[in-house]
Structure 1
C-alpha cells in the first residue's frame, strides 16, 4: 500500500512540474514576441496602448505615421518577381535584330516566342547598328533590361550574356543563320531545335518577320503580345522624358493628334515611292536603294506601286486627309517621324494648314541651331510653337543626338498617349502602335488607304 501511495504522489508532482514549465515557457515566449515586435515598431499590445492617456494617443499617432511610411515604401519598392519557370534548356539563342525600332521590337517579340516554344535560353538581343540609321544604341540604352528578364521569367530563361566557356567557344565557331521568313511553329520544332541541340548555341542574324502572323497556337500569340505590351519597357530615362513631353503637349491644348508621317529618305528609297519628288531626288533615292544589298527589290515603278496602295502618303496628301476628316487649323499635331525628305519644301503645305506642328526632330534641330549659333531667321522659321514653349532643355536633348532609335522611342510613347493616332503608311510602327493601343482599349486609331480618292481630287 505504501508503495502505491508513494507512486501516486510522484506522478502528481511530475504533472504539476510539466504544467509549471509550460506556463513559464509560454510567458517567456510571449515576452520575447512583444519585445521583438515593439522594437520593430510593427506591433503594440492593446493593454499597453491603452495605458498612459495622452502617451497612448501619441503612440497611436506614431504607428499611423509609420503605417503611412510603410505604404509609401510598398509603392516605391519593385514589384514581386513572378515565379521562375524551371525547365531543361535545349541550348542558347543569340539574336541580331535588323531594322528600325519598331521592326526590331516586333522581331524581339517573335524571338522570345520562338525561344519559349523550343525551351531555349535567350541571350538579350543585339540591336541593329549597320542599317541606314547607324544608331550605336544597345538593348540596354533603349529598354529596361532587368524588367525584360524578370517579367518573363515564368516563361523562359533570359541572360545578359553567354557563359564564359561558351563565349570562348563561339569566338572560334558559331552556327549562324537567318530563319526562313513567316515560318510556323512546326518549322522551328523540326528544323531549328535539332540544330540548337547539336551546336548548343545558335545565332539568328535576322529577326524581322521570322514567325508567321496567323495560324499559331493561342498561347504563342498571347506571349507575343505580352512581350510587346509588358516586357519591352523603355529605360527610366526615356520614360521620364517621354512623360514630360506628353504632359507638355496635354497642357498646351488638352488634346493632341499624333501623325506618323512616314516620309523619310530610307522609306522612299526602299519602297521606290517617288511621287512628288524632283528628278534629282528620284535619282538620289534610286542610288541609295542599290547601295544596300539586303534591299532585294531594285527596279520599282513608283506610280504602279502607289495605285496599289503600297506607298506612304505624301505631306501634301495627308494635309487633304486631315482637312477631310474635319481637323481645324488650331489642332495641335505631333509629327512622329525622322527628318522629312525634302525638308521645309515638302512640309510647307502641311504647316500652312496646321501651324501647330510639333516633332522631336524639330526640337533636336532647334537645339543644334542654338548650339552652333546659326542663322536666326532659320531658327525662327522652325516650328515657332516648340521654340516658344521650350518643351525640352538642351541638357535633356543632348543624349538623344545621333540616336534615332531613342528618338523613335519618344515618338512611340507620345503615339500611345495621344488622343488620336493617324499613320500615313501601314508599316511596322502603325501595326505595333495599333496593337498596343487596342490592348489599352481606350484609344483611337485611324488607318488610311485613300490613294484613289486623292487622285480624284487632283
Structure 2
C-alpha cells in the first residue's frame, strides 16, 4: 500500500483517548503526547496543498489583516447527529449568529471543512460573504487528486491541518476531531479556540467562549507542551 499510494495510516493506542489531561503527569503521558502532537508531518505534496490553501485564504482576508477562521462544519455530520436543538453541534445559521454576536464582522474570512458548497450553508454566507469550502480555494490542478477521490481520508487530513493553521478555530461539531485539532493548536501555541453557544443577548465577549481545553489547560497536549 505504501509503495502504490505513498501513504501510511497509523493506528495508535493511548490510555488518554478522551484527550483529557490526567491529574498526575507521567513519563508515558509525555511520550504519548509528543507522539500524537509533536512528531508526524505531512508528506510534501499534501503539505504543499495545505500551504497554498492557507495562502489563498490570507490573500482573500486583506480586509481582516490576512486572518481567517476555520469552522468544522460538515452538512453530512450535522444530519447524522441531528443537530436541531443539540448543544453538541451547531448549524450554519447558529454559527453565523454566534460569530456575529462575539464581534466578527462581514469582512471576516471563514474556511469550512465542508468539501463542496451546500444550499444549507447560505445562512452563514448571508452574514459572512467571505465563506469558502475546499472546492473554492484548492488549486485547480490538485482537485482531481485530493478532492474527487472516493476515499475521504486525505480530505480529513487537509481539514485537520487547515483548522490547526487558522487564526481562530470554531468547532461546530463536538467530538474527537475537535479534540485532536485543539491538541495540535496547543502544541503550536495557537490557542484561539472558540466553542459555540446560544447567546441570548445581542453581543458577548469572545473570551467567554474559549475552549475549556485552553482555559482550564486540561487537554492531554499540556502533558508535554506548556
Normalised to the residue count of structure 1, the TM-score between the two structures is 0.38
Asked if the contact 2:113/2:133 (under 8 Å) is kept, the reply is yes
Distance 1:315 1:442, change over 3 A: closer
Aligned to 1:358: 132
Match of 2:114 in 1: 337
- The answer on whether the counterparts of 1:330 and 1:356 sit within 8 Å (CA) in structure 2 is yes
Task: Work out whether residues 142 and 238 of structure 1, in 8 Å CA contact, stay in contact via their aligned partners in 2.
Answer: no
Q: Return the alpha-carbon distance in structure 2 between the equivalents of residues 274 and 417 of structure 1.
A: 27
Contact 2:111 2:133 in 1 (8 A): yes
Q: Distance in 1 between matches of 2:189 and 2:58?
A: 20
Asked if the contact 2:38–2:187 (Cα under 8 Å) also holds between the matched residues in 1, the reply is no
Give ranges in structure 1 of 5+ residues lacking alignment.
Answer: 1-125, 127-136, 146-178, 185-208, 276-302, 364-385
Q: Residue 249 of structure 1: which of 57, 62, 83 is its match?
A: 57
String of CA shifts for 1:254-308, please: whole Å, max 9, x gaps: 11111111x4324532x3x252xxxxxxxxxxxxxxxxxxxxxxxxxxx5xx2xx
CA contact under 8 A between 2:83 and 2:91: conserved in structure 1?
no
Q: Does 1:268 align with 2:79?
A: yes
CA drift of 1:242 comes to 0.8
* Structure with larger Rg: 1
State the Cα distance separating 1:239 from its structure 2 match: 0.8
* RCO comparison, higher one (Cα < 8 Å, 6+): 2
Tell me by how many angstroms 1:333 deviates. Answer: 0.8
Name the CA distance, whole Å, in 2 between partners of 1:243 and 1:142.
21
CA positional deviation for 1:392: 0.5
Higher normalized helix content (fraction of residues)? 1
Alignment of 1:84-103 (within 5 A): none
Answering whether residue 158 of structure 2 is matched by residue 410 of structure 1, we say yes
Question: How big is the alpha-carbon RMSD for the aligned residues of Structure 1 and Structure 2?
Answer: 3.3
Distance in 2 (CA, whole Å) between partners of 1:241 and 1:334 is: 15
TM-score (norm 2): 0.72
After TM superposition, list the pairs within 5 Å mapping 1:5-84 onto structure 2: none
Deviation per CA, 1:376-402: give whole Å up to 9, x if none. xxxxxxxxxx5xxxx512x31111122
**Pairing 1:315–2:92 present:** yes
Match of 1:441 among 186, 189, 192: 189
2:46 maps to 238
Question: How many angstroms does 1:319 deviate by?
Answer: 0.8
Count of matched residue pairs: 193
2-side partners of 1:211 and 1:347: how far apart? 30
* Partner Cα distance (1:339, 1:436) in 2: 25
**Gaps (5+ residues) in structure 2?**
203-226
| Cα separation, 1, equivalents of 2:26 and 2:169 | 28
Question: Any conservation in 1 of the 2:83–2:90 contact (CA below 8 Å)?
Answer: no
1:222 aligns with 30
Alignment of 1:139-150 (within 5 A): 140-141=6-7
Residues 237 and 266 (structure 1 numbering): CA distance in 2 closer, same or farther, change over 3 Å? same
Assess, with a 3 A threshold, how the Cα gap between structure 1 residues 314 and 230 changes in structure 2: closer, same or farther.
same
Partner of 2:22: helix, strand, or coil? coil
| Cα displacement (A) at 1:354 | 0.9
Secondary structure, aligned partner of 1:421: strand
Structure 1 position 183, deviation (Å): 6.0
